[in-house]
Structure 1
Amino acid sequence: MTRQLEDTAEPSPIGAGRLAGIDRRSAIDAVRLRIGMAISLGLLKPGERLPDQEDVALGLSVSPITARRALASLAEQGVVVRRRGRAGGTFVADEPPQSVLAELSASPAESQAVNRLVDRRLLFECAVTHYATLNATAEQLDELERLTRDMAESSDWSDYHQADERFHQLVGTASGLGTAVEVYHETLTELYAYFIPYPIELLHKSNCDHVALVAALRAGDVEGAVEVSRKHVDILHRTMFMGLTEGGASSG
């Protein structure tokens, strides 16, 4: 479902009050940062076409108006270019201004706060996976498997992210942990607000973890399922933006 919130009402994804010590940013500036960092890190290439505006919003978990204003701002600064016509759309500029890209970077405080958020998710992920192995229904397992196929067939980071989010939400629901699932979902939402676009090839590689997790859930292999989930989340310490700036290059 497309979110219809104005950017003035939308919670700021980078700078949320729950993460102490983190820099405060508007929702628009947060989207600008996430796209700018992906370009700086070479995850989005010069000339690469971005998904449609509404798909950018869905892929970055923001409202359409926030995505529109962020892209318009990046276009004004020459980071992206917009072209009309059948082959039109929004594209990464051939030579984005380095001075602008230098401003679109995460601070050390932001990186530290996201690391703490990854640790919080790691604890939740292991718990919900343990109980999902015991409690998941046949219908839920079938839906999880369908979502792995959707991710395998995704052609861009926006489509992949949407299926990835539904996958992990369903694992939480399948655990049957009651109100604790709501807290897990809240943690997912907080963390997804920091993801930046990745090449689809890297995301398809990450999907191998999802496939392995579904197989372990079907087999009732609690230990194996928890280990898959642990590794899947723990790698975020090295592959989200705070690790990528140090030379990493893998999916989140």
Structure 2
Amino acid sequence: MTSFEPEQLGRRNASGQIARQLRNAISQGVWQPGERLPTEQELADTFDVARATAREGLKLLSATGLVVSARGSNGGTFVSLPDATHVAEQLSDAIQLWYRAGNVSVHDVDEARWVLEMHCVELAARRRTDADLAAIRRPVEASRDLTMDMAAWLDLDLEFHTAITRAAKNKILELAMTSVHLARPATNSVFVEYLDRTLVTEQHDAIYRAIAASDPQGAQTAFQRHVTYLDQTRREALDDTSAADVLVATLPELGHSAVVETDPSS
């Protein structure tokens, strides 16, 4: 087993440095899930700091979800697998700040979505369950109601693509797609009024039917047809402006939520 080799602390934010070193050690396998970390006093001695500083370092580490604390004679701080929803929430906060910083373009989002979701639809066609198919089908059928407002319709669109991501049964892809979904309310605002909602619903239905038929190639082809239509529509909306020149931070938000929860049961 790898042993913990502490590094000398700098002059500022000692507790933050301790938390960072412990987090890196956990990620490198020094401590496994369920194993107890050194006590506050042991960490204080190791880093040559006050016990209160070591305690604060453990509190900072606990906030990441990597460890949990227990009281009593058998208590202490133990390594814990982070809850998937907690990880998604942390990712959501970080990505939203990143978008607001103004260095992510619409093209960046489109490209990431194409790369990631092409794999998701393929894996969904191979791995989907009956429950997954029901979750994918529901927003397709609900979106046929053209009397609903655009915000509600876009919520169904997000539900549809999120259900496909979950059906892929890959947590890393699911978290990566979360960052893409966070930008979609803004990127949708570029061209949403130009969309043919009936056509989009039929494209979604084609993706669903390929996944239901366990046809990975068919699912990718249907998805490619869908994103090609979206790309063409956005080009028309932007006229002579390149998507690479449009920053997510400059786009207005639409009236629906883009926060995507990761399903802990999938």
Are 2:240 and 1:225 equivalent residues in the alignment? no
Instruction: Name the CA distance, whole Å, in 2 between partners of 1:154 and 1:163.
Output: 12
Task: Supply the distance in 1 between the matched residues of 2:173 and 2:94 (Cα, whole angstroms).
Answer: 24
Contact 1:157 1:200 in 2 (8 A): no
What residue number does 2:123 align with? 131
Please state whether the residue corresponding to 1:153 is helix, strand or coil.
coil
Match of 1:172 in 2: 165
Aligned to 1:171, what secondary structure does the other structure show? Answer: helix
| Secondary structure at the counterpart of residue 152 of structure 1 | coil
Q: CA deviation at 1:243?
A: 3.5
Aligned to 2:110: 118
Taking a change above 3 Å as real, the CA distance of residues 199 and 133 of structure 1, as seen in their structure-2 partners, is same
1:245 counterpart = 2:238: yes
Residues 81-137 of structure 1: per-residue CA shift (max 9 Å, x gap)? xxxxxxxxxxxxxxxxxxxxxxxxxxxxxxxx2022101100011011110001111
Q: Normalization by structure 2: what TM-score?
A: 0.49
Spell out the pairing of 1:43-62 with structure 2 (5 A cutoff).
none
The CA deviation at 1:195 is 1.2
One-letter amino acid of the structure 2 residue matched with residue 16 of structure 1: R
Deviation at 1:201, TM superposition (A): 7.3
> Is residue 205 from structure 1 mapped to residue 199 from structure 2 by the alignment?
yes
Paired residues for 1:154-165 under 5 Å: 154-155=146-147, 156-165=149-158
Rounded Cα–Cα distance in structure 2 between residues aligned with 1:138 and 1:181: 19
Question: Unaligned 5+ residue runs, structure 2?
Answer: 1-92, 241-266
User: Retained in 2: the 8 A contact 1:125–1:230?
Assistant: no
The answer to whether structure 1 residue 150 and structure 2 residue 142 are counterparts is yes
Partner of 1:187: 180
**Paired residues of 2:113 and 2:177 also in contact (CA < 8 A):** yes
Counterpart CA distance in 1 for 2:217 and 2:199 is: 22
CA RMSD in angstroms, aligned pairs only: 2.8
Which residue of structure 2 aligns with residue 140 of structure 1? Answer: 132
Q: Which residue of 1 aligns with 2:7?
A: none
- Alignment coverage as a number of residue pairs: 146
Q: Is the 8 A contact 2:118 2:220 kept in 1?
A: yes
Whole-Å separation in 1 of the counterparts to 2:238 and 2:172: 37
Distance in 2 (CA, whole Å) between partners of 1:199 and 1:14 is 27
Question: What's 2:100 paired with?
Answer: 16
Structure-1-length-normalised TM-score: 0.51
**Aligned counterparts of 2:196 and 2:231: Cα–Cα separation in 1:** 16
For the 8 Å contact 1:14–1:193, the answer to whether it is kept is: no
Q: Is the 8 A contact 2:120 2:173 kept in 1?
A: no
In percent, how many aligned pairs have the same letter?
16
Partners of 1:141 and 1:165 lie apart in 2 by: 15
Secondary structure of 2:100's aligned partner: coil
- Asked if structure 2 preserves the Cα contact closer than 8 Å seen for 1:213 and 1:229, the reply is yes
Larger radius of gyration: 2
Whether the 8 Å contact between 2:99 and 2:183 is mirrored in structure 1 is no
Matched residue SS, 2:115: helix
Whether the 8 Å CA contact 1:173–1:181 is kept in 2: the answer is yes
Rounded Cα–Cα distance in structure 1 between residues aligned with 2:94 and 2:146: 27
Would the alpha carbon gap of residues 177 and 231 (structure 1) be closer, same or farther in structure 2, given more than 3 Å must change?
Answer: same
1:139 alignment partner AA: A
Deviates more, 1:187-196 or 1:200-209: 200-209
